[in-house]
A and B are shown apart, each in its own frame.
Chain A
Amino acid sequence: MFTMIKKNLLSRTLLYWLGSATFLLACFLASCSKENVGTDMSFQLVVPSNFPALKYDIANNPITQNGFVLGRTLFYDGLLSSTNTISCGNCHQQSVAFAHADHTVSHGVFDRLGTRNSPALQNLAFSTSFMWDGGIFNLDLQPLAPIENHVEMDEKLDVLLDKLNKSDKYKSLFKNAFGTEEISSAKMLKALSQFMVMMVSANSQYDKYVRKEAGANLTGDEIAGLELFKAKCQSCHATDLFTDQTFRNNGINPTSLNDVGRYAITLNEKDKYTFKVPSLRNIEKTAPYMHDGRFRNLEAVLEHYSNGVTNSATLDPLLNANGILGIALSATEKQQIILFLKTLSDEEYIRDRRFAEQ
C-alpha cells in the first residue's frame, strides 16, 4: 500500500515536473524565438523595394549582431593604422554619409595626403566594384587597401593581426562573433563587411516618394528637377543607386598629378582618365565633388556639365553629342536639379545609431 502511494506520488511528481519542464521549455523557446526575431531583424539586410539586386554574397557571410558589432568596433578603431591613430571613421564620417567633410583629399598617418576624394560609404552591398578606379572587386577585400596604403593607415596586415591578437577586448569580440578567439585576416575582413553591408541608405524624401509612402511629397520644383534629371543625368546616374557603376571620363581636365583613373587597373587605353560614376545619394552632404574633390559645391558641378566639359580621346560620348560638349542646362534647370538632388539626403541614415561610433 505504502509503495503504491509512493509510486503514485512519484509518477505524479514526475508528471508535474515533466509538465512544468515542457511548459518552461515552451516559454523559453517562445521567448527565444521572439528575441531572435527582435534582435535579428535589425541585423538583417532588407533590400529596399526600389533597389536593384544585391551584389554581396551574404550567404557566405551571414550577418549577426555580434559580427556587426565587431565590424563597427574595427571601423572606428585607430589600431588599424601604424600610428594607432587613424581609423576608417576618420575619413568616413557618418554626419556626411561617411565621406570626409570639407576635405578635397584626406590625410592619413603623419598627415600624409592622398590623391583622391574620400567617397561616401552607402549601399556597398549593391556595388560591383570599389574605389574611384574599381580596382577592388569584392567588399571583403576593400579594407586591405586603406589599411596598407602608405598615405592612409600605412599598416601591415600581419602587424595589425598581431595587435588584435594581443587585445583581450578583440579576443572576446571575435569569440562572440565567430565562436572562436582565433583572429585571422579573413575573419577580420568578414566582420568589417558585416558592418558595411548593413550601411544601407534608402530613406530619403525621394525614396519615400517613389515608394509612395504616406506623407511623402516632393515640391513642384523638386519634381521638375527629377524630370530634368531623368532626361539629362540618368543615363549614367542610373537606377535608384544613382550610378550605373561604369567608368567614364566626364570631361574634367587632368591635373598635374595626371591621375589616369581606371586605366591603372585595366591598362586599356579606352579607360584613360575614366572614373567610377558615383552615386548621388546624400550628395548634398558629401562636398567637395569629383575624384579629386575639385568642385566645392553642386552649383560648380552643374556649371562644369553645362559649360566646362573638355574634349579628349576618352571623353564619354554622351557628353559630346552632335559635336556639342556638355549638357545644355538653363540657370533655372540647374537650380531645379539641385533641389531634386537634395531630396536624396537621408537623415535617418546619417543619424542611425547603429552605424555611429559607440
Chain B
Amino acid sequence: MRKILSITLLAAIILSSCKKDEVTDPNAKSDITLEFDNIVGNADLALNTATYTNSVGEAYTISKFDYYISNIKLKKPGGTEYIVPQDNSYFLVKESDATTHKINLSDIPVGEYNQVSFTLGVDSLRCTADISKRTGALDPAAGGTGMYWTWNSGYIFLKMEGTSPVSAMPDQEIFYHIGGFGGMTAPTINNIKTITLDFPAGIIANVKVGKKPDVHLLVDAKKVLDGTTNISIATSPMIMFDGASVNVANNYKNMFTVDHVHND
C-alpha cells in the first residue's frame, strides 16, 4: 500500500513538473520590464551638453528631466487586463539616474500583451493618503527628489529644468515643475494624465516563465514645450503651479510611444 502511494506521488510530481516545462500553466507568473528611454526629437536626451530648439525657434538645454510613473496596467489582445498592485506601482524616472530608467514588474501573469497604460503623476488618492503610505518613490525624503511641494501639499509630477538664452530668469535658467492633483480643501487644477499606449501593429510582449520581455518606450522631452499649445520660453521661462501648467501637461501627455519590444 505504502509503495503504491509513493509511486503515485512520484508520478504526480513528475507529471506536474513536466506540465510546468511546457508553459501551459495559466497561473504561472513572470516578469516584464518597461524601459523609459528619454529622447529629444530624434536624438537621445543629453543633459546639459546638447542644445535643442522648440517649435517657437528658441534654443534651450535640459539639466533635469524627472517624472512619476504610477498605476501601471498591462492588457492582452483579448481585453484581459492585469493591474499592477497599487502599493508596488509608483516609480520616479530620473534622467540623471540610469537605474531608474527600467521599471521591473514581477508577478505578471504569463501571456501576450499588446497595450500598456499608466498615470503620469500620482493619483489623487495617494496624494492625500496618510504619510505612512508614502513610501519608496513617494517618500518626500526619497533621495532628495525634490518632487514634492511642501507649501501646497502635493507631488510634482514632472520636472524639466535647464537654460535658454531667451530666459530672463537669473542665470538664464528655465523651470517647468508640473503638478496639481485637483485639490483637497478646494478644487483646483488637475494635471494627472493617464497614458494608454498600444504596441505597434504585430508587436506583442510575450511574458513567459524564464523570459522577461523588455518594452522599450521612447519619451520625447521636446513635447513638454511643443504640442497643442506651443510654449514660448521667452514668455514663460518658469511654469509651476499656475494655470499655464495645464497647457504643458496637455503637451507632454503625448510624449510617450512604444518603440519596440525585446522578447528574448
Whether chains A and B associate is yes
**Hey, which bits of chain A sit against chain B, CB under 8 A?**
57, 60, 128-129, 131, 134-138, 140-141, 144-145, 147-149, 156-161, 184-186, 189-190, 262, 264-268, 271
Closest 10 CB pairs of A and B: A157-B141, A144-B150, A185-B141, A137-B184, A135-B152, A158-B144, A145-B150, A140-B131, A186-B132, A266-B186
A243 to chain B, nearest CB (A): 14
Which of A148, A160, A161, A264 interacts with B150 by CB under 8 Å?
A148
Residues of A within 8 A of B183 (CB): 265-266
Which of B139, B150, B189 interacts with A141 by CB under 8 Å?
B150
A149 touches B151 (CB 8 A): yes
B151 touches A145 (CB 8 A): yes
> Can you name 11 A-B residue pairings with CB atoms under 8 Å?
A60-B132, A140-B130, A140-B131, A144-B148, A144-B150, A160-B141, A186-B134, A186-B139, A264-B152, A267-B189, A267-B243
Q: Binary interface profile of B, 102-141, with partner A (CB < 8 Å = 1, else 0)?
A: 0000000000000000000000000010111011000111
Contact residues, B171-220 vs A (CB, 8 A)? 183-189
A135 touches B153 (CB 8 A): yes
Question: In the bound complex, how far is the Cα of B124 from the Cα of A137, in angstroms?
Answer: 13
Residues of A within 8 A of B81 (CB): none
Main secondary structure of the interface of A (DSSP, over half): helix
B144 to chain A, nearest CB (A): 4
Which of A138, A157, A190, A267 interacts with B153 by CB under 8 Å?
A138
Residues of A within 8 A of B152 (CB): 135-136, 264-265
Question: For the complex, is B52 an interface residue (Cβ under 8 Å from A)?
Answer: no
Which chain A residue lies CB-closest to B245? A267
Residues of B within 8 A of A144 (CB): 140, 148, 150
Beyond A138-B153, A266-B187, list 16 extra A-B contacts (CB 8 Å): A128-B185, A135-B151, A136-B153, A138-B130, A147-B150, A148-B150, A149-B151, A157-B144, A158-B142, A158-B143, A160-B141, A185-B134, A185-B141, A264-B152, A265-B188, A267-B243
Question: For the complex, is B87 an interface residue (Cβ under 8 Å from A)?
Answer: no
Residues of A within 8 A of B144 (CB): 156-159
A226 to chain B, nearest CB (A): 30
Residues of A within 8 A of B128 (CB): 137-138
A179 to chain B, nearest CB (A): 14
Question: In the bound complex, how far is the Cα of B146 from the Cα of A159, in angstroms?
Answer: 12
Which chain B residue lies CB-closest to A160? B141
A14 to chain B, nearest CB (A): 47
A141 touches B185 (CB 8 A): no
B131 touches A185 (CB 8 A): yes
Question: For the complex, is B241 an interface residue (Cβ under 8 Å from A)?
Answer: yes
Q: Binary interface profile of B, 38-61, with partner A (CB < 8 Å = 1, else 0)?
A: 000000000000000000000000
Which chain A residue lies CB-closest to B242? A267
B131 touches A137 (CB 8 A): no
A186 touches B188 (CB 8 A): no
Contact residues, B214-248 vs A (CB, 8 A)? 241-243
B132 to chain A, nearest CB (A): 5
Residues of B within 8 A of A149 (CB): 150-151
Which chain B residue lies CB-closest to A136? B153
Residues of A within 8 A of B132 (CB): 60, 186, 190
B241 touches A161 (CB 8 A): no
A268 touches B150 (CB 8 A): no
A298 to chain B, nearest CB (A): 29
Question: In the bound complex, how far is the Cα of B188 from the Cα of A145, in angstroms?
Answer: 20
Residue among B132, B141, B184, B242 with the highest chain A CB neighbour number at 10 A: B141
Residues of B within 8 A of A145 (CB): 150-151
Residue among A131, A145, A186, A271 with the highest chain B CB neighbour number at 10 A: A186
Question: In the bound complex, how far is the Cα of B151 from the Cα of A35, in angstroms?
Answer: 41
Residue among A57, A134, A149, A158 with the highest chain B CB neighbour number at 10 A: A158
B151 touches A138 (CB 8 A): no
Question: In the bound complex, how far is the Cα of B127 from the Cα of A138, in angstroms?
Answer: 11
Question: In the bound complex, how far is the Cα of B132 from the Cα of A190, in angstroms?
Answer: 9
Question: In the bound complex, how far is the Cα of B185 from the Cα of A322, in angstroms?
Answer: 31
Which chain B residue lies CB-closest to A265? B152
Question: In the bound complex, how far is the Cα of B151 from the Cα of A134, in angstroms?
Answer: 9
B222 to chain A, nearest CB (A): 27
A60 touches B130 (CB 8 A): yes
Which chain A residue lies CB-closest to B127? A137
Question: In the bound complex, how far is the Cα of B144 from the Cα of A136, in angstroms?
Answer: 20
Given A134-B185, A137-B184, A157-B140, also A186-B131 (CB < 8 A): yes
Residues of A within 8 A of B135 (CB): 186
Residues of B within 8 A of A271 (CB): 186
A324 to chain B, nearest CB (A): 29
Residues of B within 8 A of A185 (CB): 131, 134, 139-141
A141 touches B153 (CB 8 A): yes
Question: In the bound complex, how far is the Cα of B187 from the Cα of A267, in angstroms?
Answer: 9
Question: In the bound complex, how far is the Cα of B153 from the Cα of A136, in angstroms?
Answer: 5
Question: In the bound complex, how far is the Cα of B168 from the Cα of A354, in angstroms?
Answer: 51
A244 to chain B, nearest CB (A): 14
